[in-house]
Each structure stands twice: as structure tokens, then as C-alpha cells.
């Protein structure tokens, strides 16, 4: 019984130990599961935190990107509006900007002001390099000990080494001399090139100085071409905003000291049609607010007036020789006639004033439109619509071919024979005749008329225009060649009409050619009738051959 009891104790102990180990293992397994579960939860938590942070970062990045985009679009609008404001301010200050500068073109400014630079060759050309020395080469040959000098072989070898060193020195010295000679030659060549450039510059300066001196002399002598050239420089150096054509023609009449300016104005498109840009955030689009038509018309009218006054100011202010007593400004634009599709050049403003009157005006304080009106200017009622005005002085009427003409009509006696007039007097008579009939006529120089005896302008609107008149004091019939010549001259002059006047008559070929063309042929009888209409009795008696 005692043995069984002891065995049972052992069995129980083993069972308890086994159960304990199982509990311990289970505990460790559960602990491992809890640890794994805890680690998994931590990983999930960390991932959730990362994802939440990423979402927040993405949201903030998106918000920042959207904000940056909005700021970019708003800045785009601000830049566009700033550009429009700057451009409009520039147009409004066209006149005031000119008042702040001296428009005089000095003759010295036309000279070549550059002076020759000092001779500065490359440093390698001016740096002298010392040549080789014999000692440098012989020093590489070790001295022969005294006790070896008695041995012929050693002595001969030493002498041979000295000979080789000397030959190396001689070769190096020759090479050095050759390089130095090349350097000196390159230096000489560089100096020759420099001196040639200096001579060319001095020659250019001397030539320009002589040209400027001649220009100055002819200008102050009152040479019309020099005065026109000087005034052209004044207008060419005038600083306008980009997009202004600045094309012009000038003519100077020394007898009346009058300068006539034919000036191309910018077209109405120079005024921006957009008044303002706006950004609509909800639609993410930039819209435009168009300028009101009334504002566009006002800005363009003011610009036309500003350019006219500015040109007059610049020309009078820059007139060093005070040759210009009267200045006439005609401003036109290049446009297209909507009715015909042809290119036209309607004048929008024409103003003529004297130096005395204009220099009394305070341009910094005037109302530009009122100022022009006070000067008696012809100003378009609708410049933005290219509604034209008639120039006070037609630019073509101051063509250099025109000369002063005598009033021969009033000098003719009763029943004057027109064949007794010389050719020039007959041409002057015809020019006077059409002048009395209401045309603005100008006689041309007979030596350089290019086939034109008289240029006349019919002032009537629509029906009027430029007229070319030729006078033929002939006793024989005028042939078709004269009519062809007249038609060619009309084309060359851009005239609306041609009139051929003769003391005789025309052949059938002449009438046939003139048919359906804007040419009028006036025979001797018709000429006498026209003279009679203005109260002049004349006759045509052909000389007897």
C-alpha cells in the first residue's frame, strides 16, 4: 500500500508538472498571440495615421495648388489691366512727354564722337622672354675630377659632353631668336592694323565733320532742302510709343517761310478695345469688359489733337535759324474705303498757325481740342470713323515744280490775239482762266514739268479732286499723241481729270482716244467762249506761213 501510494504521488507530480507546463505553454502562446495582435493593431494604427496624414497633406497640397492657381490667374488679370492702363497713360501723355525734352537737334550731335582707343596688343606680343644661357646647358655636364683628366678616354668623353651641351645651347638660341622674330612681326602687324583702323576712323570723322559743317552752313544760309532735312531729323528723333507709323513728308516755301507737314497718324485700332479684364472664380475664366464707343472716340480724337500740337511744338522749338514763320500740319491715316475697297488717305486734322501765335500757348494746360479749334483747325467730326476734312493747304500745292504765276487774264486787252502770246504766257493764261473759274491752280516750271503745264484742284466734294491741265498754242491740228501723253501724266500724278486746251483743234483719233476717259478736249473756239464767260474778249488769228 505504501508502494502504491508513493507511485501515485509520482504520477500526480508528473501530471501536475505536465499540466503546469501546458498552462505555461498556453500562456506563452496566448501572450505571443496577444503580442502579435498588439503589433498588428499598432501597424494598422500607424498605417491609419500615415494614411490620415497623407490625406491631410494631399488636401493641403491641393488647397495650396488651387490657391497658387487662383493667385496666378488673378495676377494674369492684374498684369493685363496694368498693361492697358500703361498704354492709355502713354497715349494721353503724347503731348506732355514732348514738353519735357528739348527737341532741338544740335549739329554737333551729328558728328562722329568716338575717339581711337589706345594701342593695346596682346600681352604675349609685348612680353620679352629671356633667351637661353650657355651655362644652363653646360651645368648639366658634371665636372671631370682632376685624377680622371689624366685618363684620355674619360677626358675625351667629358669634352664630347660639353660639345653636345654647346650644340643644344646653339639650337635653343636659334629657336628663341626665331620665336622672338615672329613675336616682333606679329606686334608690327597688330600695330599696322591698329593704325589703319585709326586712320579710317579719323577719315570718317573728318568726312562727317565736313558734311556736318556743310549742312550747318547751308541750313543757316536758308537753303530750303537743308531746312526740310533738318526738320525731318526733328520729327524722326521724336520718341513715340511702339506702333506709331511716323511717316511724313515736308515741304518748305522760302518766300512765305511756310513749312507744310503731311503726317501719317495711327489708325483708331491704336486704342485698345478692351477696357478691363476680370477673373470669374466660379467659372475659372477671364472675361473682358469692352471699352465704351464714346470713350474710344474721345481718346482717339484727343490723340489726333495731341499729335498735331506736338509736331507743331517740336518744329517751332527746334527751329534754330527761325526760318519757319508759318507751319501747316495735315494729319491723315491709311484706310480702306468700305464702298469701293480701294486704299484711301483721309485727312483727320489740318491746322495752320504762325510762330508768334503758337509760342504764346501754354501747351501743358490747354484743352487740346479747344486749342485746335481756337487755331482755326479743320478737325474731323468723327476721327475714329475716318470722316475726312479738307486740308487747309494741299501738300501737292507746295510741290517744288510750282512757280508763281502772273495774272494774265486781267492784263489782256480787248480782242487780244492769243497766237501773239509766247508759250509761257499762254500757259499762264490757261492757269489764270481755270483759277477764275473756281479751281485752285498752280503753274509748273516749264523746264521740269514732266508733261504738266498746270495742276489744279477742284474743291467740290465728291466731284472735285486733282486736275492736270496742258496748254498747246498750236496752229495745226493736235494729234492723238498729245492726248495719250496727257492720259499718262494723269496716271502718274494720280489725277481725277485731265484737260487739254489748244488754240487750234483735234483730229478724230484724239476724240476717239479721249472717249470714255476722264479727259476734256477744249478747242480754240471753246477757249474763246470760256474767256468770254469771265469777261475777256480775245481772238485767235493764225499766222500766215
Domain termination site, one of 220, 253, 279? 220
Total domains in the chain come to 3
Query: Where does the pLDDT of residue 451 fall: very low under 50, low under 70, confident under 90, or very high at 90 and above?
Result: very low
Task: Inform me whether the pLDDT recorded for 461 exceeds 70.
Answer: no
Q: What's the pLDDT at 450?
A: 43
Query: Where does the pLDDT of residue 372 fall: very low under 50, low under 70, confident under 90, or very high at 90 and above?
Result: very high
Do 250 and 391 share a structural domain?
yes
Q: What's the pLDDT at 402?
A: 46
Angle 224-236/152-220 helices, nearest 10 degrees?
120
d(CA 489, CA 400): 17
* Mean local confidence (pLDDT), 218-242: 90
Cα Rg of the chain, angstroms: 50
Do 369 and 243 share a structural domain?
yes
What does residue 480 show for φ and ψ, rounded to 5 degrees? -70, -25
pLDDT, mean over the chain: 84
The better pLDDT of the pair 27, 183 is held by: 183
Q: What's the pLDDT at 464?
A: 67
* Mean local confidence (pLDDT), 111-122: 86
Do 387 and 246 share a structural domain?
yes
* Mean local confidence (pLDDT), 202-227: 89
Question: Does some domain include residue 306?
Answer: yes
Query: Where does the pLDDT of residue 123 fall: very low under 50, low under 70, confident under 90, or very high at 90 and above?
Result: confident
- The grid coordinates of residue 214 equal 556743310
Domain termination site, one of 189, 220, 251? 220
Do 439 and 526 share a structural domain?
yes
CATH of the domain at 458: 3.40.1350.10
Q: What's the pLDDT at 414?
A: 54
Q: pTM here? A: 0.59
Number of helices and strands in the chain (H, E)? 14, 17
Domain termination site, one of 220, 249, 266? 220
Do 477 and 427 share a structural domain?
yes
Query: Where does the pLDDT of residue 122 fall: very low under 50, low under 70, confident under 90, or very high at 90 and above?
Result: confident
Question: Does some domain include residue 545?
Answer: no
Query: Where does the pLDDT of residue 339 fall: very low under 50, low under 70, confident under 90, or very high at 90 and above?
Result: confident
**309 neighbors 298 (Cβ within 8 angstroms):** no
Q: What's the pLDDT at 18?
A: 75
Question: Does some domain include residue 49?
Answer: no
Question: Does some domain include residue 113?
Answer: yes
Do 348 and 315 share a structural domain?
yes
Which domain range does residue 192 map to?
A: 107-220
Question: Does some domain include residue 266?
Answer: yes
Task: Inform me whether the pLDDT recorded for 217 exceeds 70.
Answer: yes
399: Cβ contacts below 8 Å, ≥ 6 apart:
251, 442, 444, 455
Q: Hey, which of 150-154, 197-201, 465-469 has the most confident mean pLDDT?
A: 197-201
Could you tell me what percent of the chain has a pLDDT over 90?
Answer: 26
| DSSP sequence for 8-60 | HHHHHHHHHHHHHHHHHHHHHHHHHHHHHHHHHHHHHHHHHHHHHHHHHHHHH
* Mean local confidence (pLDDT), 271-300: 92
Question: Does some domain include residue 114?
Answer: yes
Do 455 and 359 share a structural domain?
no
Task: Inform me whether the pLDDT recorded for 4 exceeds 80.
Answer: no
Do 183 and 254 share a structural domain?
no
Amino acid at each position: 500500500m505504501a508502494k502504491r501510494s508513493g507511485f501515485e504521488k509520482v504520477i500526480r507530480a508528473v501530471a501536475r508538472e505536465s499540466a503546469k507546463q501546458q498552462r505555461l505553454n498556453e500562456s506563452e502562446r496566448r501572450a505571443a498571440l496577444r503580442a502579435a495582435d498588439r503589433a498588428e493593431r499598432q501597424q494598422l494604427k500607424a498605417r491609419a495615421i500615415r494614411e490620415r496624414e497623407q490625406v491631410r497633406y494631399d488636401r493641403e497640397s491641393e488647397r495650396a495648388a488651387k490657391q497658387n492657381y487662383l493667385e496666378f490667374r488673378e495676377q494674369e488679370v492684374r498684369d493685363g489691366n496694368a498693361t492697358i492702363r500703361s498704354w492709355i497713360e502713354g497715349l494721353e501723355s503724347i503731348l506732355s512727354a514732348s514738353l519735357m525734352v528739348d527737341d532741338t537737334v544740335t549739329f554737333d550731335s551729328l558728328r562722329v564722337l568716338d575717339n581711337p582707343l589706345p594701342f593695346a596688343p596682346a600681352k604675349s606680343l609685348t612680353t620679352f622672354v629671356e633667351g637661353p644661357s650657355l651655362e644652363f646647358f653646360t651645368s648639366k655636364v658634371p665636372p671631370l675630377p682632376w685624377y680622371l683628366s689624366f685618363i684620355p678616354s674619360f677626358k675625351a668623353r667629358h669634352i664630347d659632353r660639353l660639345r653636345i651641351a654647346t650644340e643644344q645651347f646653339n639650337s635653343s638660341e636659334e629657336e628663341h631668336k626665331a620665336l622672338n622674330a615672329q613675336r616682333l612681326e606679329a606686334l608690327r602687324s597688330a600695330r599696322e592694323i591698329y593704325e589703319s583702323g585709326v586712320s579710317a576712323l579719323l577719315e570718317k570723322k573728318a568726312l562727317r565733320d565736313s558734311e556736318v559743317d556743310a549742312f550747318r552752313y547751308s541750313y543757316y544760309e536758308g537753303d530750303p532742302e537743308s531746312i526740310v532735312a533738318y526738320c525731318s531729323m526733328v520729327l524722326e528723333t521724336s520718341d513715340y510709343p511702339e506702333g506709331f507709323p511716323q511717316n511724313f513728308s515736308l515741304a518748305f516755301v522760302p518766300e512765305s517761310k511756310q513749312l507744310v507737314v503731311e503726317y501719317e497718324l495711327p489708325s483708331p485700332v491704336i486704342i485698345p478695345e478692351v477696357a478691363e479684364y476680370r477673373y470669374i472664380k466660379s467659372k475659372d475664366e477671364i472675361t473682358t469688359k469692352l471699352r465704351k464707343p464714346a470713350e474710344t472716340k474721345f481718346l482717339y480724337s484727343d490723340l489726333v489733337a495731341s499729335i498735331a500740337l506736338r509736331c507743331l511744338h517740336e518744329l517751332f522749338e527746334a527751329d534754330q535759324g527761325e526760318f519757319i514763320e508759318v507751319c501747316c500740319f495735315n494729319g491723315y491715316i491709311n484706310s480702306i474705303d468700305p464702298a469701293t475697297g480701294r486704299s484711301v488717305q483721309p485727312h483727320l486734322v489740318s491746322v495752320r498757325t504762325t510762330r508768334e501765335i503758337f509760342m504764346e500757348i501754354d501747351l501743358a494746360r490747354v484743352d487740346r481740342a479747344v486749342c485746335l479749334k481756337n487755331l482755326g483747325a479743320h478737325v474731323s467730326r468723327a476721327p475714329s470713323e475716318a470722316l475726312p476734312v479738307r486740308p487747309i493747304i494741299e501738300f501737292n500745292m507746295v510741290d517744288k515744280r510750282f512757280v508763281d504765276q502772273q495774272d494774265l487774264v486781267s492784263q489782256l486787252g480787248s480782242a487780244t490775239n492769243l497766237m501773239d502770246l509766247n508759250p509761257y504766257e499762254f500757259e499762264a493764261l490757261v492757269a489764270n482762266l481755270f483759277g477764275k473759274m473756281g479751281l485752285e491752280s498752280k503753274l509748273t516750271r516749264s523746264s521740269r514739268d514732266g508733261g504738266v503745264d498746270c495742276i489744279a484742284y477742284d474743291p467740290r466734294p465728291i466731284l472735285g479732286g486733282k486736275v492736270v491741265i496742258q496748254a498747246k498754242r498750236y496752229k495745226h491740228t493736235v494729234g492723238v499723241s498729245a492726248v495719250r501723253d496727257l492720259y499718262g501724266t494723269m496716271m502718274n500724278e494720280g489725277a481725277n481729270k485731265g484737260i487739254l486746251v489748244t488754240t487750234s483743234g483735234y483730229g478724230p483719233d484724239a476724240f476717239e482716244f479721249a472717249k470714255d476717259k476722264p479727259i476734256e478736249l477744249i478747242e480754240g473756239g471753246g477757249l474763246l467762249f470760256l474767256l468770254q464767260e469771265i469777261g475777256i474778249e480775245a481772238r485767235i488769228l493764225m499766222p500766215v506761213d
